Structure 1
Amino acid sequence: MSTAQETLVDIRGLEKRFDLSGGLLDQLRFRNGRIERHQEHVHAINGVDLSVTRGEALCVVGESGCGKSTVARTVMGLLSPSAGEIHYDGKRIDDLDHKAVLPYRRKMQMIFQNPYASLNPRMTIRQTLEEPIRFHQPELSASGVADKVAEVMQSVGIDPDWGKRFAHEFSGGQRQRISIARALAVDPEFIVADEPISALDVSIQAQVLNLMMDAQESRGLTYLFITHDLAVVEHFGTRVAVMYLGRVCELADTATLFSSPRHPYTQALLSAIPRLEDDRPNHIRLHGEVPTPVELPSGCVFHGRCPYANDRCRQEIPQLIATDGGGQVACHAVEEGRL
C-alpha cells in the first residue's frame, strides 16, 4: 500500500447516486389506501477506496456501466460525491468552494474520451490552448502565452502554424493530441484520462499512448487512466484496479494481476483477451446478467454470476484484503481459502 508521503490522490469510501425519481409529484404513489413517497437511484459508485501514488499510472478497468468513468468525473469535481472523501496531496478537496478549489484545477487536468466532442468547434486550436493558460496563469504576457502554446503543440507533434485552424480540420488522432496539449498547457501534476483512445483507430492508438507515456516521463505526471481495453492496460499501467458494479473487486500491480488474478471476475475478464500462446487459460464463460445498479444485490455484487458463491457471499459485502502478491482483493472465497 502507498504511504501518506507517496500518495498524491486518495479516494476514501466514495459513493455516487443519481436520482431517477423526478419531482415530488412523480414520487408519490397510492398504495393500500394511502399515499407513499417512492424514490429510486442509480448506484453508480458504492464505496470505492483507491490511492494513486505520485508518478504512477493507475488503470481502472471493467465492463461498461461499472462506474469507472463516474469515478473519474467525481475525482475531477465534475460530479459531486454522494458520500466519501477525495484528498489531493493530503488535503481534502471535494468539499472546497469554487475559489478554494481553483489552485487544484491547475494541478489536475482531464483528457476526455471523444475528441470530436471535447473541443469547441467555434474556437481555433490556438484559442483553445490559450484559454486555460490565460485563466490559470494571468501573469503571463501575450508573447509568453504564445510561446507556451507553441511549445505544448510541438510537444504533442502538432505544427504550431496549424494553430489558426479549427477542430473540424483535424483527424481524430490529431484532435486527441490537441486535447492532450490542452491538458498539458497549464503544467499539471495529475491527469485523469477517461478512455482517451477508445474513439481512435487502432493504428493511431499506439501513437497517442506513446505520447502520453513520453509526457509522463518528461513532466513527472501521475495518471488515473480509465479504460476497458486490457491490452492497453498491460502496456501502459503501473497498477490496475478492477471494478464491477460500482465496487473495486481487485487491485494489484500490472504484472501480478495479469500473471495471477485472484478475483473470479478478474480471472474471467483476463481470459477474454485474445492470445497467440498455446498455454493461455481457457476462456471463462460467465452465466447470468449484470444486475441493475438501481436495485443492487445483497452481499457481494458479483455473487449472482460467481461459481464460487456461498451463503456468506449472498449476505455479506466483501472488503478489500491484502494478498500474498502485494495486491488487494474483495472476495470471501479467497479469504476463506476456497479459491
Structure 2
Amino acid sequence: MATPLIQISHLEKAFASNQSWFSQWRIDRGKLRRKKDKVHALNGVNLTINQGETLCVVGETGCGKSTLARVLMGLTAPSKGEVHYQDQRIDHLNDRQRMLFRRRMQMVFQNPYASLNPRMTVYQTLSEPIAFHNPQLSAKQVEEKIRPLLESVGIAPSNMDHYPHEFSGGQRQRISLARALSVEPDFIIADEPLSALDVSVQAQVLNLMMDKQEEHNLTYLFITHDLAVVEHFATRVAVMYLGRVCELASTKTLFSAPKHPYTQALLSAIPRLDNNTTQPIRLMGEVPTQMDKPIGCVFQARCPYANPRCYAESPDMIRQPDNSSVACHAVDEGRL
C-alpha cells in the first residue's frame, strides 16, 4: 500500500485582480463603488502525493500549477482548504513554525537565471541552508558536506567560489538542485525546472533528478508542460484545467486510455512517429476568465460532450475501474 506524504483537501486560492485604476470602479444604484473582483487560481483541488513517487502536474498556462506549488511550500497562503504533511496540518503555520518543515520540503524554481542570488557564491548559496539547519556544524564540517554534494550533481568543487553568472543555465539548475538536496529533504517541488534549458541539457538534469530520487527515496511534485517528460518521468499524472484537477491516473493508464475530453485533446497534440493517422482534437471556444468562480464544469465552454448538467453542476472526482479518477459528467453517465 502507498504511504501518503502530502494530502491536499479542497484547496482554493484567490488573488485580488490587477486591473487599471479606471476599471476598478463601477456605478451601483447611482453611486460610484469599488469592484471586488478576484482571480480564482485554485478552485477546490484534492490530491494525495504518496511517498517515493513522482506526481506530475500538467495543464496549460494559467491553470494554477505554479500557484499550487507556492501554496504547498507556504510561499502564499490558501484562501480555503487544508494541506497535511504526514497527517500534520501545515497550511496555517506561521513563518517560524514553517521553518521546521523547510528541511523536509524544498523547491526547485523554473528560472535558473533568477533563482540564485547573483551576489552569493556557490559556497555561500549551499552553506547558508546547511548551517541554518545544522548550527552545531563548524565551518570546516559545512565545507565537507558541500564538496561531495557538488560532485554528486556534476559540478566541480573547485567552482564553489564562483558566482552564478559564471555558469551556464544547466549548471545553474544543477546548483539549484544541490541547494534543495543540501538539507536532505523528503519532498521536492520542481516547478518547470527544464523549461529554460536546451533539450540536451534537459535530459541531463532530468536523469540527475531520477538518480537522486532513487538514491535518497525522494518524493517529487513535478510541474511541466512537456508531455514527453511526463511519460518518461512520472509515476502518476494530474491534469489541471482552470484551477481544478480533471483527471488523475498512473502514467501508463493516462497515456494509453485518457478519459477526460481535455486530457484526450492534450495527448492528441503530441507528434507520434508510429501513428500518422491520428488527428489532433481541436477544441472550440476560448478558455473562460478566472475573474468569476466557475459554475458547473470548468471545461463546459469547450467540451463537445457538454449537456445542461455540465453547466449547472460541478463534477466530482470519481474513481474508475482502472484506479484512475476523472471529474466528468460525460464519463460518469457513459456518454464518453
TM-score with structure 2 setting the length: 0.96
Alpha-carbon offset, residue 278 of structure 1 = 2.3
2:118 corresponds in structure 1 to 121
Q: In the alignment, is residue 209 of structure 1 matched against residue 201 of structure 2? A: no
Query: Identity over aligned residues, as a percent?
Result: 62
Alpha-carbon offset, residue 99 of structure 1 = 2.3
Q: In the alignment, is residue 75 of structure 1 matched against residue 72 of structure 2? A: yes
Q: Give yes or no for contact 1:241–1:248 (8 Å, CA) kept in 2.
A: yes
1:50 corresponds in structure 2 to 47
Alignment counterpart, residue 281 of structure 1, candidates 274, 278, 281: 278
Q: CA 1:303/1:25 → structure 2, altered by over 3 Å: closer, same or farther?
A: closer
2:260 corresponds in structure 1 to 263
Alignment counterpart, residue 15 of structure 2, candidates 4, 15, 18: 18
Q: What amino acid maps onto 1:107 in structure 2?
A: R
Alpha-carbon offset, residue 8 of structure 1 = 0.3
Deviates more, 1:62-71 or 1:90-99: 90-99
Q: Give yes or no for contact 1:21–1:39 (8 Å, CA) kept in 2.
A: no
1:250 corresponds in structure 2 to 247
Q: What amino acid maps onto 2:122 in structure 1?
A: I
Deviates more, 1:16-25 or 1:137-146: 16-25
Alpha-carbon offset, residue 103 of structure 1 = 1.5
Alpha-carbon offset, residue 100 of structure 1 = 1.9
Question: How do 1:141-160 residues align onto structure 2 when only pairs under 5 Å count?
Answer: 141-160=138-157
Per-residue CA deviations over 1:205-256 (Å, capped at 9, x if unaligned) read 0000000000000001000001111000000000000000000000000000
Deviates more, 1:90-99 or 1:114-123: 90-99
Matched residue SS, 1:94: coil
1:330 corresponds in structure 2 to 327
Aligned partners of 1:35, 1:21: CA distance in 2, in Å?
19
1:230 corresponds in structure 2 to 227
How many residue pairs were aligned?
A: 336
Per-residue CA deviations over 1:273-327 (Å, capped at 9, x if unaligned) read 1110126632101111111111244211101100000000011101100012101
Q: CA 1:21/1:65 → structure 2, altered by over 3 Å: closer, same or farther?
A: closer
Q: CA 1:164/1:323 → structure 2, altered by over 3 Å: closer, same or farther?
A: same
Alpha-carbon offset, residue 21 of structure 1 = 6.9
Q: Give yes or no for contact 1:21–1:38 (8 Å, CA) kept in 2.
A: no
- Long gaps (5+) in structure 1: none
Q: Give yes or no for contact 1:13–1:83 (8 Å, CA) kept in 2.
A: yes
- Long gaps (5+) in structure 2: none
Aligned partners of 2:103, 2:19: CA distance in 1, in Å?
35
Q: What amino acid maps onto 1:134 in structure 2?
A: A
Per-residue CA deviations over 1:114-164 (Å, capped at 9, x if unaligned) read 000000111111111111111111111111100111111011010001001
Q: CA 1:166/1:26 → structure 2, altered by over 3 Å: closer, same or farther?
A: same
2:87 corresponds in structure 1 to 90
Q: What amino acid maps onto 1:337 in structure 2?
A: G
Aligned partners of 2:221, 2:171: CA distance in 1, in Å?
22
Alpha-carbon offset, residue 34 of structure 1 = 3.1
Aligned partners of 1:238, 1:114: CA distance in 2, in Å?
24
Q: CA 1:227/1:280 → structure 2, altered by over 3 Å: closer, same or farther?
A: farther
Deviates more, 1:285-294 or 1:19-28: 19-28
Aligned partners of 2:150, 2:182: CA distance in 1, in Å?
9
Matched residue SS, 1:302: coil
1:34 corresponds in structure 2 to 31
1:61 corresponds in structure 2 to 58
